Amino acid sequence: MNDTEKIGSLQKMIDSTENICVFTGAGISCPSGIPDFRSANGLYNEKTNGNYSPEQIISHSFFVGKTEMFYEFYKSKMMYLEAKPNDAHIYFADLEKAGKKVSVVTQNIDGLHQAAGSTDVIELHGSIHRNYCMSCGKSYDAAYVKNAEGVPKCSCGGIIKPDVVLYEEPLDENATMRAIEKIASAETMIIIGTSLVVYPAASYVRYFRGKNLVLLNMSSTPYDNSADLAIYDDVVNVVHKLRHS
């Protein structure tokens, strides 16, 4: 099947189903200027202070033991407050506005799906936009954290922690259950911009029982053989083709 046929096939799948689940990873936000994790220019290949890997720095134990160094990395490498939704985020929000039942299950913490207008978004790994005081529970927005000098502190003096799932921390049980429910009930599932190697989130794909499983990624994934359609391209390119097909 050539590229044009693949786009046509994807369009038919979208047109013929009402209940669509979009499962997204870092790749959908790369066109918005947010780096992914595992590519050559990704977050995990960043140079860091000292001999710590990015995975070590964004772990729970590192946050507790070296909070200042954690925030130095987190604020500069993981908080992109100027980023705007790109055409892919907007496309799926527009599908919802057009009357489709579109749920989004995302591994991203950037909030761009909501900024684009999607209303049914499950954030498996939390969000940079929610932050709370570990002492009194008071909430703070992302700008407060980003602009704070060193470790962000609450008005009560407590340390503020982002509502982001760090390494060594479990996923939120409520988010997990809702994600599985959305995946299991969808007729079409479109997986975008994820290598599908981060567990447990990647394993949720196994709960899909619908008609069309679509993989839309720059490179192959462990689930390619299970997919009804696999397209290797930038998601924004694909969306532009869909809009003009």
The structural domain count of the chain equals: 1
In a domain, 202, yes or no: yes
Residue 112 clears pLDDT 50, i.e. is over it:
yes
Percent of the chain with pLDDT over 90: 81
What average pLDDT does range 179-199 have in this prediction?
92
Q: Is 113 a catalytic residue?
A: no
pLDDT, tens only, 220-231:
888 888 899 999
Q: Of 17-26, 69-78, 201-210, which gets the smallest average pLDDT? A: 201-210
pLDDT, tens only, 128-138:
999 999 999 99
**90 or 245: whose pLDDT is higher?**
90
Q: What is the pLDDT of residue 202?
A: 75
In a domain, 183, yes or no: yes
**89 or 218: whose pLDDT is higher?**
89
In a domain, 53, yes or no: no
Given 89, 113, 125, 129, the catalytic residue: 125
Q: Which helix (H) or strand (E) element contains residue 127?
A: strand 126-133
| Whole-angstrom distance, CA of residue 152 vs CA of residue 146 | 8
Give residue 13's domain range. Answer: 1-32+85-125+170-245
Query: Which of 192, 190, 189 has its CA nearest to residue 219?
Result: 192
